[in-house]
């Protein structure tokens, strides 16, 4: 959240990847749209305004590692940007996305994902306002809640399907790719750019990304 507006990670990832500078965001509602759950809509709007640049990189002085109960992330100084993300919690088994600066544009198409039990729990708590199962990839969850079963009829899917909405993956390891997109967006907002570093991450979430970015922002200087 920034000044009460969010979610910002998909927009932030598009701004970071396309190297946007000197912009102003005006929002008439506190919830930014998720569109199809990726950064494509934001990227298309950005490209329509004019030429884009290379991502802005911030020097990283030393190797550091952060972790929480869910996962870990390691940032190591490098001459060029590199990112490897491993996601082990998905319905489709372990997924990996790996690439450098030349591959970042591919990440713009990676959609967000959520398991069915997480989706119905968020709905019950009054979260995910304006979000439908088509706002990303809805993955089969625990199937412990009757609301999950009702989604089968609502969506016209088979209870045995691993992905209930979204169809086939847009790119290999789309869940891991979207986690990579989240990392880029969160680091962009928390440190004003991307670290010039080799980054490895496993099963990370937004809270850890922000912690890393804020810590790096306190210890990095422009190259």
The token duo for 13 is 């990832």
Which pLDDT value is given to residue 197? 96
- Please tell me what DSSP assigns to residue 189: H
The token duo for 35 is 């569109």
Q: Give tens-digit pLDDT for 54-66.
A: 898 998 889 999 9
d(CA 52, CA 49): 9
**Of residues 193 and 72, more confidently modeled:** 72
d(CA 24, CA 93): 40
Q: Is the pLDDT of residue 155 over 80?
A: yes
Q: Is 83 helix (H, G, I), strand (E, B) or coil?
A: strand
Give mean pLDDT, residues 22-32. 82
Which pLDDT value is given to residue 82? 97
- Please tell me what DSSP assigns to residue 101: G
Mean per-residue pLDDT over the chain, rounded: 90
Element (H, E) at 149: helix 146-155
d(CA 42, CA 10): 8
Q: Is the pLDDT of residue 129 over 80?
A: no
Q: Give tens-digit pLDDT for 83-114.
A: 999 999 877 789 999 999 999 999 999 999 99
Query: Domain boundaries in the chain?
Result: 9-111+171-219, 113-155
Query: pLDDT band at 223, cuts 50/70/90?
Result: very low
Q: Is the pLDDT of residue 17 over 80?
A: yes
CATH superfamily ID and name for 9-111+171-219: lpxc deacetylase, domain 2 (3.30.1700.10)
The token duo for 219 is 């210890």
The DSSP string of 33-76 is --TTSSSHHHHHHHHHTS---PPPEEE--S-EEEE-SS-EEEEE
Q: Give tens-digit pLDDT for 6-16.
A: 689 999 999 99
């Amino acid at each position: 959240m920034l000044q009460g507006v969010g979610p910002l990670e998909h927009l932030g990832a598009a701004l970071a990847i396309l190297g946007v500078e000197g912009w102003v965001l005006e929002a008439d509602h506190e919830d930014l749209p998720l569109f199809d759950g990726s950064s494509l809509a934001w990227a298309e709007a950005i490209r329509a305004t004019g030429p884009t640049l290379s991502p802005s990189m911030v020097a990283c002085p030393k190797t550091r590692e952060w972790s929480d109960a869910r996962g870990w992330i390691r940032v190591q100084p490098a001459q060029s940007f590199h990112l490897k993300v491993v996601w082990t919690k998905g319905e489709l088994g372990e997924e990996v996305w790996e690439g450098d600066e030349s591959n970042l544009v591919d990440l713009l198409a990676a959609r967000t994902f959520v398991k069915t039990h997480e989706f119905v729990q968020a709905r019950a708590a009054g979260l995910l306002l304006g979000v439908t199962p088509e706002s990303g990839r809805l993955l089969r969850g625990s199937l412990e809640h009757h609301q999950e079963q009702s989604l089968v009829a609502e969506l016209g899917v088979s209870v045995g399907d691993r992905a209930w909405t979204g169809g086939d993956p847009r790119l290999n390891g789309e869940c891991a790719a979207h986690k990579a997109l989240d990392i880029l967006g969160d680091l962009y907002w928390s440190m004003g750019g991307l670290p010039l570093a080799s980054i490895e991450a496993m099963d990370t979430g937004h809270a850890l990304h922000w912690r890393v970015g804020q810590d790096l922002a306190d210890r990095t200087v422009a190259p």
